[in-house]
Amino acid sequence: MLQNDRLLKTLRGELVDRPPVWMMRQAGRFLPSYQRLREKYDFFTRCQTPELVAEITCLPVDELNVDAAILFSDILVVLQAMGVPIEMREGSGPVLLRPVEKPADVNRLEYPDVIHALGYVFQGIRATLQKLDGRVPLIGFAGAPWTLLCYLVEGKGSPNFEKARAFCYQHPDAAHALLDKLTNITISYLQLQIQAGVHAVQVFDSWAGLLGPEGFRQFAEPYLQRISKALSALSPVILFPKGAWFGLHALATSGAAAIGIDWQTDPAFARNAVGTQISLQGNLDPAILLTNCTTIEAQTRAMIRRFGTQRYIANLGHGILPHTPVAHARTFVETVRRFSEAELLSTKS
Ligand code: 1CP
């Protein structure tokens, strides 16, 4: 039994006393307690050791009072399981040692035995659930096929992922074969996370907006739809198609329980695009958490007033920034926790 089920109620469209709140990338980024573990163990050791996964995942629950935990892992572990060696470099982030450069490279990627290759993730989930002891729900996650293709082709992070976009338009058949394979693997992977006990799953399509409306319709949306339709009977699904305001309407009928939006998307536009039968999540600019407590409080309250308190999950519009002071993150969470329905009504009249 969960002691705090606001997130799950919101995902089911049930009434809540106030919106649930959590922050994308809350586990492994800004907390000094995480930074200390980061000095002791390298990144993949942290991801592959169930006790460390449990410890890191619980840090923001213990220290910030958020309404949900997100599993400590990374979207790139799926690519490692497909036989792609990845180095996590200090300062510059992940580097894939053998990126996909031509269509023939797609065939080289292994279809992994997910249950074994990513067994440490499922063990991490079980260890985390024990440590959480029913305090809040646990969110599992995976990268969306398009966002994974971005890293596979580019070989590293990039502001615009031009190589990945060019690959899709120059080799559409190979791109679709790759996206199809990534979709099947992601469905198995998330099914196994659900079996291991996560209460909801989020699909991060961090680079969806880079495709533009037509590219999104071809190379991202069909795969998000497939993942969402395959899983929505098993668990609530949250889709986060960052930057793809133009795709919100189409995703509203994907079976997803919620759609996350970034800060460049207007809440009223998003609500109008998706209708009333789905929850929205977001969308405070993470840079606002770098300002001061007065500004954070004012901006957070304004955000809640725009979304309303029902069918809404308070969050940032993207991951929390590494240098965010803990007190600022706490102010964000506390402001949502203090927001009451009565207040919403009084500000409307
Ligand atoms: O040493 C370190 O601390 C490594 C940094 C790090 C961490 C803590 C990486 C490398 N990944 C993670 C964890 C992680 N990644 C989580 C765990 C939960 C949490 O931190 O709260 C999650 C949900 C992710 C998801 C992820 N990884 C996304 C999607 C979300 C987003 O922010 O857009 C993406 C795009 C990645 C790829 C990735 N992994 C790591 C880095 C530095 C990056 C970005 C690379 C880039 O494009 O520059």
What's the 3-state SS for the chain? CCCCCHHHHHHHCCCCCCCCECCCCCCCCCCHHHHHHHHHCCHHHHHHCHHHHHHHHHHHHHHHCCCCEECCCCCCHHHHHCCCCEEEECCCEEEECCCCCCHHHHHHCCCCCHHHHCHHHHHHHHHHHHHHCCCCCEEEEEECHHHHHHHHHHCECCCCCHHHHHHHHHCHHHHHHHHHHHHHHHHHHHHHHHHHCCCEEEEEECCHHHHHHHHHHHHCHHHHHHHHHHHCCCCCEEEEECCCHHHHHHHCCCCCCEEECCCCCCHHHHHHHHCCCCEEEEEECHHHHHCCHHHHHHHHHHHHHHHCCCCEEEEECCCCCCCCCHHHHHHHHHHHHHCCHHHHHHHHC
Residue 163: inside a domain: yes
CA distance 89 to 187: 29
Cα(347) to centroid of ligand 1, in Å?
38
User: Among this protein's residues, is 25 annotated catalytic?
Assistant: yes
Mean of pLDDT values over 303-332 = 97
**Which residue, judged by its Cα, is nearest atom 9 of ligand 1?**
74
- Residue 74 Cα to ligand 1 middle (Å): 6
Q: Ligand 1 centroid vs 319 CA: distance in angstroms?
A: 9
What's the pLDDT band for 344 if we cut at 50, 70, 90?
Answer: low
Q: Flag whether 24 is in a domain.
A: yes
In this model, does residue 340 exceed pLDDT 80? no
pLDDT band for 54, please (50, 70, 90 cuts).
very high
Which of 22, 25, 41, 210 gets mutated to test ligand 1 (max ligand atoms within 8 A of its CB)? 25
- Count up the domains in the chain and report the number: 1
Confidence class for position 291, pLDDT limits 50, 70, 90: very high
Q: Look up the CATH number of the domain holding residue 114.
A: 3.20.20.210
**What pLDDT is recorded for position 342?**
57
Quick one: 276 exposed, middle or buried, by C-beta within 10 A (0-12, 13-18, 19+)?
exposed
Distance, C-alpha 258 to centroid of its chain = 12
Task: State the Rg of the chain over Cα.
Answer: 19
Residues 202-238 pLDDT 10s: 999 999 999 999 999 999 999 999 999 999 999 999 9
29 is catalytic: yes
Average pLDDT over residues 143-163: 98
Range of the domain at 244: 6-348
Nearest residue (by CA) to ligand 1, atom 39, is 74
- pLDDT, residue 332, reads 98
Please indicate, yes or no, if residue 22 is contained in any of the structural domains.
yes
Residue 126 lies in a domain: yes
pLDDT score of 293 more than 50: yes
Stated pTM of the model: 0.96
Give strand pairing partners of 196.
none
198 to each of 72, 145, 237, how far by Cα in Å?
Answer: 12, 21, 11
**Bridge partners, 205 (sequence order):** 241
How many Cα atoms within 13 Å fall on the side-chain side of residue 57?
Answer: 33
Q: What percent of the chain has pLDDT over 70?
A: 97
Q: How far apart are CA 6 and CA 21, in angstroms?
A: 9
Is residue 38 part of the annotated active site? The answer reads yes
Find out whether 252 and 278 touch, Cβ atoms under 8 Å. yes
Report the pLDDT averaged over residues 85-95: 93
Catalytic residue among 5, 6, 18, 25: 25
Q: Is the pLDDT of residue 331 over 90?
A: yes
Nearest-atom index, ligand 1, CA of 47:
13
What average pLDDT does this structure show over 181-185?
98
Angle at 282 between CA 265 and CA 241, to 5 degrees: 65
Is the pLDDT assigned to residue 117 strictly greater than 80? yes
Residue 97 has pLDDT above 50, yes or no: yes
Task: Tell me the average pLDDT of the chain.
Answer: 96
- Has 306 been annotated as catalytic? no
What is each CA distance from 132 to 61, 73, 111, 191, in whole angstroms?
8, 16, 33, 21
- Around ligand 1, the residues with Cβ closer than 6 Å are 25-29, 38, 43, 70, 72-76, 88, 93-94, 141, 157, 204, 206, 319
Which residue among 66, 75, 193, 323 is best mutated to probe the pocket of ligand 1, counting the most ligand atoms within 8 A of its Cβ?
Answer: 75
State which ligand 1 atom lies nearest to the alpha carbon of 34: 3
Q: Which of 18, 29, 46, 165 is catalytic?
A: 29
The catalytic position among 38, 98, 217, 337 is: 38
Nearest residue by C-alpha to atom 41 in ligand 1: 93
Question: Does residue 187 lie in a domain region?
Answer: yes
Does residue 169 have an active-site annotation?
no
Work out the percent of the chain whose per-residue pLDDT is above 90: 95
Q: Cα–Cα distance between 262 and 252 in angstroms, integer?
A: 16
Q: What pLDDT does residue 91 have?
A: 85
User: Could you tell me if residue 1 is inside a domain?
Assistant: no
- Out of 74, 165, 262, 311, which one is annotated catalytic? 74
Confidence category of residue 346, pLDDT binned at 50, 70, 90: low
